[in-house]
Amino acid sequence: MRPVGVYGSSGGARIYRIPLDVFPDMVGYAHLVYRNDLVALVDVGSGFGVSNEHLEAGLAIVREEYGEKAAWADLTHVLITHGHIDHYGGIRYVREQCKALIGVHELDQPMLTHYEERLSLSTQRLRAFLHLAGLEADQVEEIMDLYLINKHLFSSTDVDFTYEAVGMEIGPLRLLHMPGHCPGEVVILVDDVLLSGDHVLETISPHQTPEHLALNMGLGNYLDSLHRLLPYADDIHLTLGGHEGPITDLKARIRGIQKLHHERLNHMLSLLGKPMMIVEIAREIFPDVQGYHELLALEEAGAHVEYLEQRGFLQVENLEETNGQYPEPMLYRRDEGAVLPLQIPGLAADCPEDMKQTGDPLNV
């Protein structure tokens, strides 16, 4: 097992970073926060494979090597940063072990409490999106099979409270709603340390999905949330995400992600001088992806196309040919009458050239 990280805040909080193999090819982190009388476990892993074992082992290390009270009975709260299964999938196991209060944001509560309904609706919407993106029927079913792998291993569970209902504060912890990557994504301020979930990561640009698939997702919401986080950056000395390493310069990382999306949007505009389907755009931008990453590439491309279309930069070339039938593959072309240049919220014109994205944007 990878080592448990230990961090402190300006207000005396102790934060233990527990590594988990949430999937065979993905490492995530749960964070155990001690602040005054609060003992909060932030995220719980996927519940798949060895994820629960790693969580148990991490708690044991915190007890035995650091002398903390880290038995299940010592937890006061379990806080979920957002409704993606690598962060909440272990919640049923955790609930069986302890009586801590479990919280999630209102907009992600249905993913935990009405999981089967949410899965059915998201499956319908995704299938329609894939047809709209231009995949053939057999390709759609191949992608859907990949999407549904392991999805039926989780089932609904109760939560004890939602974040808006308690004023976005839990004892000394302050929560900020940052929709985009997920409808109910929150980041958690522990004095001058930020637990960022998947909103900001060290090198990976968090995956984007069209809002067409779920309200309060989409690139527009994500970029707005990034912009709203910027004013906090000067007072945050350390950011701990749900994946990858710590971030010591949050402002620079936010600028880097903004710049990545700005460049990608402009790249798409340069491609769309001719009519293209989303599947064609995805293959131009992410030419070497396979398997589940093909779905992520389609969603990422779709989120950027949606952003451009919503803001008048694109037009549907074959609208008359579809005869109003939906979902029919759409051909998008750059609207030559659109007002340029394209700009995104909060990205300074003098953003340094070296603030570039270096990670694979399709991993999270």
Task: Give the tens place of pLDDT for each residue, 232-242.
Answer: 999 999 999 99
Cβ 219 vs Cβ 180: under 8 Å:
yes
More confident residue, 357 or 276: 276
Q: What is the pLDDT of residue 342?
A: 82
Closest CA to 258 of 131, 361, 147, 344: 344
Distance CA 173, CA 185 (A): 16
Decide if pLDDT at 150 tops 90.
Answer: no
Q: Which residue has the higher pLDDT, 291 or 352?
A: 291
Q: How confident is the model at residue 337 (pLDDT cuts 50, 70, 90)?
A: confident
* Domain assignments of the chain as residue spans, ordered by start: 5-109+158-258, 115-155+272-335
Beta bridge pairs of residue 77: 40, 101
How far apart CA 209 and CA 213 sit, in angstroms, is 7
Q: What is the pLDDT of residue 323?
A: 65
At 182, the amino acid letter reads: C
Residue 5, SS3 per DSSP? strand
What value does the mean pLDDT take over residues 169-193? 99
Section 8-36 average pLDDT: 98
Q: What radius of gyration do the chain's Cα atoms show? A: 21
DSSP string, 224-263: HHHHHHGGGGGG-SEEEESSS--BS-HHHHHHHHHHHHHH
* 357 pLDDT higher than 80: no
352 has pLDDT over 60: no
Average pLDDT, the chain: 93
3-state SS assignment for residue 67:
coil
Instruction: Return the higher-pLDDT residue of 134 and 353.
Output: 134
Which of the residue ranges 30-44, 81-95, 144-158, 216-230 would you say has the lowest mean pLDDT?
144-158
Calculate mean pLDDT across residues 221-228: 98
The answer to whether residues 100 and 76 touch, using CB atoms and an 8 Å cutoff, is yes
Q: How far apart, in whole angstroms, are the C-alpha atoms of residue 158 and residue 112? A: 7
Question: Percent of the chain at pLDDT above 90?
Answer: 87
> pLDDT above 70 covers what percent of the chain?
93
State in Å, rounded, how far the first CA of the chain is from the last one: 21
Per-residue pLDDT tens over the stretch 46-72: 999 999 999 999 999 999 999 999 999
pLDDT exceeds cutoff 80 at 361: no
Helix, strand or coil, per DSSP, at residue 68: coil
| Amino acid 326: pLDDT | 59
Query: C-alpha 39: how far from its chain's center?
Result: 24
Cα dihedral angle (271, 276, 280, 286), rounded to 10 degrees?
30
Taking the mean position of all CA atoms in its chain, how far away is CA 364?
Answer: 7
- pLDDT score of 339 more than 90: no
Res. 141: pLDDT tops 50: yes
Q: What is the pLDDT of residues 91-131, one digit of tens each?
A: 999 999 999 999 999 999 999 999 999 999 999 999 999 99
Q: What is the pLDDT of residues 273-308, one digit of tens each?
A: 999 999 999 999 999 999 999 999 999 999 999 999
Residues paired with residue 289 on neighbouring β-strands, in sequence order: none
d(CA 225, CA 220): 9
**Res 363: pLDDT:** 45
Identify the CATH homologous superfamily for domain 5-109+158-258: Ribonuclease Z/Hydroxyacylglutathione hydrolase-like (3.60.15.10)
More confident residue, 323 or 344: 344
Query: Confidence band (pLDDT; 50, 70, 90) for 327?
Result: low
pLDDT of res. 44? 99
